[in-house]
Amino acid sequence: MMNTSQKLIALLSGAALLSVSSLTAQTATTAPVGYVTSTAADASDTFVGTVLSEQIALTSSASGVAGAVVSTASTLVEDAYNATHYVLFTTGAKDGQWYEVVDTTTNSVVLETDVAALGVTTGDEFKVIKFWTLATLFPSSSGFAVSVNPFSPVAQVLLNNLEATGINLSSASSYFYHDGSSPILSNTAGWYKVGSLVASGAIEIPAGGAFWIRKAAASPSLAEWAPAVPYSL
């Protein structure tokens, strides 16, 4: 027969086990944080991919789909995502596919493509995510190699035409970061297009897209970017 002390110890042991079981059954999630670094080797092209996305502006599901219009029960700000965000479907026929937002109403996003014809239907879940741009992916603090002479960049970002077909295709456009020392560029630091010298900080990087960093013959440079939190893996 158990005495009072033994009963008390047994009860306390049982309570402790229940407490531990309860704690181990719980899960906690936090927004990922961190950064990505890429070393641009001397006198070569470095292939880079945007494995992290910009901030997720909205997570929702389609309350209706008509052509390129995806409706949602969420309340949106009119024109908030136009030409700066894309919709990434996370379930349904186009799971994993993304489409640029061309218009935003208070309860829908209008995409660049007739997604209804592609099989997107009511109930499909999606995220609205902001595009990376040259200026947000590689701000002045990123360590990207800075060019003094706008006519002879020491490093460039080369972007592709995603709709082009064939092999050994040349890049669609290339850009460099200027230090702001040249009066030709109004002594303004930032991203510019090679050749035309058009200000290009707002140029979008295709979602999940890859690009090249072309480094001239000089010492290697380290480019680092720290996405805004929360970002998506």
pLDDT higher than 90, residue 21: no
Cα separation, 140 vs 92, in Å, equals 40
Predicted confidence at residue 231, as pLDDT, reads: 38
The class (CATH top level) of 56-130 is mainly beta
Residue intervals of the chain classified under CATH 2.40.30 are 56-130
Cut 0.85: pTM above it: no
Strand-strand pairing, 56-66 and 221-225: unpaired
On whether the CB atoms of residues 13 and 202 are closer than 8 A, the answer is no
Query: 106-143 burial, b if ≥16 CB within 10 A, otherwise e?
Result: eebbbbebebbeeebeeebebbbbbbbbbbbbbbeebb
Q: Tell me, what's the pLDDT at 31?
A: 53
What is the phi/psi pair of residue 141, to 5°? Answer: -85, 0
Give 37's pLDDT tier (boundaries 50, 70, 90). low
Using one digit for the tens of pLDDT, what is the confidence trace for 120-142? 999 999 999 999 999 988 888 88
Segments in 71-190 forming alpha helices (H): 134-137
